[in-house]
Structure 1
Amino acid sequence: MLILEYKAVVKKSQAVAINEAILTSQFVRNKVLRFWMDNRGVGKKELYQYNTQLRAEFEFVKNLNSHACQASVENVERAISRFFDNCKKNRPGKKGYPRFKKDSRSVEYKTSGWALHPTRRRITFTDKKGIGELKLLGKWNINTYPVELIKRVRIVRRADGYYVQFCIKIDATCESRTSDGEVGLDVGLEHFYSDSNGHHEENPRFLRKAEKAIKHAQRRIYAKEKGKNNRRKASWRYARKHLRVSRQREEHAKRLARCVCKANAFVAYEDLNVKGLVRNRHLAKSISDVAWTSFRCWLEYNARKFDTKVVAVAPHYTSQKCSNCGNTVKKGLSTRTHNCPHCGTVLQRDVNAAINILLKAKNTGGHPGINAWGDVSSTNVGGNTCKSKKRR
């Protein structure tokens, strides 16, 4: 599934209509979820029947395209299925009980409710919300794909405006690699990653570099009077700075993952529990800033694209074990050099761990990366997904 994203040129009246459509989609989702909570045991059929009742009862719901309402029901259905699957598998911790949405930022249309202009540079939304025709800005050429392959159209609201996403169903195409090497990756905070060949990739620290400007923008919000336009504008400036940082992280992870998979036939990396690591209040900000999860996600995607095998291995004792003789050499986090007293091997700590990760993956097989492509679902609207997303 390919996602093409365009910036939309939106008038004030159209922005109001889009926001109304987003709120209506959120309303349908929350009402259907409440119906499921109050009537345990109801199935998929009953959820869609209740959606039909909502369209008959509320005029503003009827004005939204019927397929957009169905997409909101699909969101609830997937959330319920995921919750029950986690319960059946006895997943440790929270099982992901479905929750209400209070700040939705997107509305999703399926195969109706929209029409592309013959030039494919404009799109018209034909439901009764009054969105009308939107001009699309972007260099990607959607003319190369038949309209029949467009399975979803989303309108996403972000801090810097509105975007239109086209979800196109196409088969994956493999590209040739430049070489057939093998590499182990040890991610960290000092370096973004260190590989088994001795290369250290610099950690860009996007949030740390922008933190001063972000804090200044945040202070300017509270300097404005509540309920005034100046306060709202200050909030938008603050949100745009965070959006820029998140995009920098995503593009950086995407670029590095592509380079790694293009140059290697076998890639081993750590199977880290990032959710558990960010509970450390001293390192939470730095761990979030380095974006390990996004990097792993793009590794799995590019592995499919370049026919590269990626394997995740448990990180236990990869830093303590000597990569040459296999003996354990205990060291604290402040010790950055691995110096083995048994065989005399001297390596940078992270390089030693990367070699151990590669050896462990080749010996045990690890956990091969899965769900590298997956299916586009309504639950991923507007989010940073691992699928091929092209932006302007």
Structure 2
Amino acid sequence: MLVFEYKAYGKSNQFLAVDEAIKTVQFIRNKAIRLWMDGGAKSCYDLNKYCAVLAKEFPFANQLNSMARQAAAERAWASIQRFYDNCKSKISGKKGFPQFQKDNRSVEYKTSGWTLSDDRKSITFTDKKGIGRLKLKGTRDLNFYQPDQIKRVRLVKRADGYYVQFCISVDRTETLQSSGNTIGLDVGLASFYTDSNGLEVENPRFYRVGFVAMKRAQRLVSRKVKGSSNRIKSRIKLGRIHLKISRQRKDHAVKLARCVIRSNDLVAYEDLRVRNMVKNHCLAKSISDAGWYQFRVWLETFGRIFGRITVAVEPRLTSQECSSCGVIVKKSLSTRTHTCQCGCSLGRDHNAALNILTKAIGTTGHVGTSVLDTVNAWGDKPSTSVGENLSGQGMSRSQESPALTNQAASGERV
């Protein structure tokens, strides 16, 4: 699935209609959540039927396209299903009980309620909300895809304007020659990551850089009278600063992940639980600013696109264990150099990256096989977690490579 995003241009009354559609989606979702709380819905099908009841009862709900109403109900059921899954898996802490929404910023259409122009440079929304025709500006060309490949169209409101997103049903794959390289990555705060070759990538710290402007904008918002037009303008200015920081962080993660994946046949990284790590209030802001999880998501995404192997390694003792002899050398967070009695002296993060790569190779048996054999063996799910059953991670026994089977049975490492 590809998602193309375009900036939308139109008149002020059209964007007021978009705001009205977004509020209607929020209303339907909250009504669906209330129905489930009262015991009136047991499945997503029940919520879809309830959309027709709301359309008859409320004229403004009837103005929204029927499939857009169903998409709003599906959002409600997604939050309910996530709550059920968290309860079944018995995760620690709060289970994510569905909450009523008060800041919805998007409306989603399916295959009806909109039409694209012949030149793919404008879109017309045909429901009774009165949005009409919006011009599209972006860098992606929709002429390569047929209208029936577009499964969802989403209108999104952001601090700097309105955007149209197209969800296109296409499997994106690209073929690359084998590079013969494997790499382990240890993410950190001093540097964004240190790889097993000793290379350190600087941590950009976008939030820290923009903190001064953000603090000034926040102070201006707090000085304005609530409900005034000046306060609204100040909030928009503050929102644009936050939006810029989030875009910078995403751009950094995408470009860096793409470069790493294209340059290596196997990429190993730590299977970090960022949600638990941010409970440390001394480091929470810096950890969130680094964007480790977003970087991991894009590593796995590009690994799937380019047919590379990505392996999530259990991070336990990767910083304490000596990469040369395997002896555990205890050290605090302030100790940035690993020194072992065997004579090994490396940077702490470099040593951890070597251990991460060693664990990944010992699990996947990647070294000694071609990239094509490895992709065929692992199927179409390139990311694995070390220590889990491989047959449950997308690998079919009928597709398993004999070379990998022999290596896994003997524990051979090259």
Partner of residue 287, structure 1: 287
Partner of residue 60, structure 2: 60
Given that 1:177 and 1:262 are in contact with CA atoms closer than 8 Å, whether structure 2 keeps it comes out as no
Alpha-carbon distance change, 163 to 301 in structure 1, aligned in 2, over 3 angstroms = same
Partner of residue 73, structure 1: 73
Partner of residue 389, structure 2: none
Task: Report the alpha carbon displacement of residue 177 of structure 1 after superposing the two structures with TM.
Answer: 4.7
Partner of residue 20, structure 1: 20
Given that 1:121 and 1:135 are in contact with CA atoms closer than 8 Å, whether structure 2 keeps it comes out as yes
Given that 1:68 and 1:110 are in contact with CA atoms closer than 8 Å, whether structure 2 keeps it comes out as yes
Give per-residue Cα distances to partners, 1:81-122, cap 9 Å, x unaligned.
222222223333332222221110000000000011111101
1:337-356 matched pairs, under 5 angstroms: 337-341=337-341, 343-356=342-355
Alpha-carbon distance change, 184 to 104 in structure 1, aligned in 2, over 3 angstroms = same
- Name the CA distance, whole Å, in 1 between partners of 2:321 and 2:113: 59
Partner of residue 276, structure 1: 276
Given that 1:194 and 1:351 are in contact with CA atoms closer than 8 Å, whether structure 2 keeps it comes out as yes
| Aligned-partner SS, 2:93 | coil
4+ residue segments displaced more than 3 Å: 364-368
| Aligned-partner SS, 2:360 | helix
Q: Report the residue type matching 1:362 in the other structure.
A: I
Is 1:186 the counterpart of 2:207 in the alignment? no
| Aligned-partner SS, 1:251 | helix
- Name the CA distance, whole Å, in 1 between partners of 2:227 and 2:98: 33
Give per-residue Cα distances to partners, 1:241-264, cap 9 Å, x unaligned.
010000000010011111111011
- Name the CA distance, whole Å, in 2 between partners of 1:358 and 1:368: 16
- Name the CA distance, whole Å, in 2 between partners of 1:159 and 1:178: 43
- Name the CA distance, whole Å, in 2 between partners of 1:306 and 1:254: 14
Task: Report the alpha carbon displacement of residue 33 of structure 1 after superposing the two structures with TM.
Answer: 1.1
Q: Report the residue type matching 2:281 in the other structure.
A: R
Partner of residue 412, structure 2: none
Larger displacement relative to structure 2 (318-327 or 69-78)? 69-78
Partner of residue 383, structure 1: none
| Aligned-partner SS, 2:281 | coil
Partner of residue 369, structure 1: 383
Task: Report the alpha carbon displacement of residue 40 of structure 1 after superposing the two structures with TM.
Answer: 5.6
Task: Report the alpha carbon displacement of residue 45 of structure 1 after superposing the two structures with TM.
Answer: 3.0
Alpha-carbon distance change, 223 to 85 in structure 1, aligned in 2, over 3 angstroms = closer
Partner of residue 9, structure 1: 9
Q: Report the residue type matching 2:168 in the other structure.
A: I
Given that 1:299 and 1:310 are in contact with CA atoms closer than 8 Å, whether structure 2 keeps it comes out as yes
- Name the CA distance, whole Å, in 2 between partners of 1:274 and 1:146: 40
Given that 1:3 and 1:166 are in contact with CA atoms closer than 8 Å, whether structure 2 keeps it comes out as yes
- The TM-score, its normalising length taken from structure 2, stands at 0.86
Partner of residue 51, structure 2: 51
| Aligned-partner SS, 2:111 | coil
1:138-153 matched pairs, under 5 angstroms: 138-153=138-153
- The TM-score, its normalising length taken from structure 1, stands at 0.91
| Aligned-partner SS, 1:330 | coil
Task: Report the alpha carbon displacement of residue 174 of structure 1 after superposing the two structures with TM.
Answer: 2.1
Partner of residue 333, structure 1: 333
Unmatched 5+ stretches in structure 1: 372-392
Given that 2:83 and 2:97 are in contact with CA atoms closer than 8 Å, whether structure 1 keeps it comes out as yes
Alpha-carbon distance change, 245 to 74 in structure 1, aligned in 2, over 3 angstroms = same
Task: Report the alpha carbon displacement of residue 349 of structure 1 after superposing the two structures with TM.
Answer: 0.7
Q: Report the residue type matching 1:49 in the other structure.
A: K
Task: Report the alpha carbon displacement of residue 329 of structure 1 after superposing the two structures with TM.
Answer: 1.1
Q: Report the residue type matching 2:383 in the other structure.
A: G
Larger displacement relative to structure 2 (46-55 or 252-261)? 46-55
Given that 2:181 and 2:263 are in contact with CA atoms closer than 8 Å, whether structure 1 keeps it comes out as yes
- Name the CA distance, whole Å, in 1 between partners of 2:150 and 2:382: 31
**Aligned length, in residue pairs:** 370
Q: Report the residue type matching 2:207 in the other structure.
A: L
1:171-182 matched pairs, under 5 angstroms: 171-177=171-177, 179-182=179-182
1:124-273 matched pairs, under 5 angstroms: 124-177=124-177, 179-273=179-273
- Name the CA distance, whole Å, in 1 between partners of 2:154 and 2:317: 45
- Name the CA distance, whole Å, in 2 between partners of 1:325 and 1:120: 61
Is 1:299 the counterpart of 2:299 in the alignment? yes
- Name the CA distance, whole Å, in 2 between partners of 1:43 and 1:307: 37
- Name the CA distance, whole Å, in 2 between partners of 1:83 and 1:207: 31
Give per-residue Cα distances to partners, 1:220-244, cap 9 Å, x unaligned.
1123333221221111111100100
Query: Which structure has the higher relative contact order (CA within 8 Å, separation 6+)?
Result: 1
Alpha-carbon distance change, 197 to 100 in structure 1, aligned in 2, over 3 angstroms = same
Q: Report the residue type matching 2:34 in the other structure.
A: R
Alpha-carbon distance change, 178 to 215 in structure 1, aligned in 2, over 3 angstroms = farther
